[in-house]
Amino acid sequence: MRYAESPHPALSPLEPMRLAGEPQTRFDPVVIASRLRQMGDRCNMDFERVSSEALAEVLKGKFGAAVDSLSRSWSDQNPEMAYEIVFLGVSVKLLMYVAKKVPAMVHPNQLIKVINGNFRVRNYIEAHGGWENLDN
């Protein structure tokens, strides 16, 4: 299964693209938003303290690099948490932090691109049967 941004307004950018012969999957954007919010809420990273480098990366247009760097660092410090869950939580929290500090730098599809662009995270979501089955 591949993930892609959809040029069709009726399809969500987070919905997996189906290849010919694949069964249609149910997609609920409310479930995805809820899971992302929960993961972001569990992320207790203090962005005021650690985000100067991350914010600098975002300002250079490297939101994904900032998320990955922060996620790896936090995952190393909290080995009991799966990197993929940390990545999702950090991506939500960092986007909210940037929206508060520099709203002009937030683009509507940033979070989608970061999540869909991370092979490990996509595989993790798929391996758990989709967003509905991710740990809440």
Burial of 118 (0-12, 13-18, 19+ CB in 10 A): buried
Distances (CA, A) of 96 to 3, 7, 33, 79, 105: 23, 26, 13, 24, 11
- pLDDT tier, 124 (very low <50, low <70, confident <90, very high otherwise): very high
pLDDT at 37: 84
Range of the structural domain that residue 68 is part of: 2-133
Total number of domains in the chain: 1
Span 46-102, pLDDT tens digits: 766 766 777 777 778 888 988 998 899 888 988 898 899 999 999 998 888 888 888
CA–CA dist 124, 5 (Å, integer): 19
Computed on alpha carbons and rounded to an integer, the radius of gyration of the chain in Å comes to 15
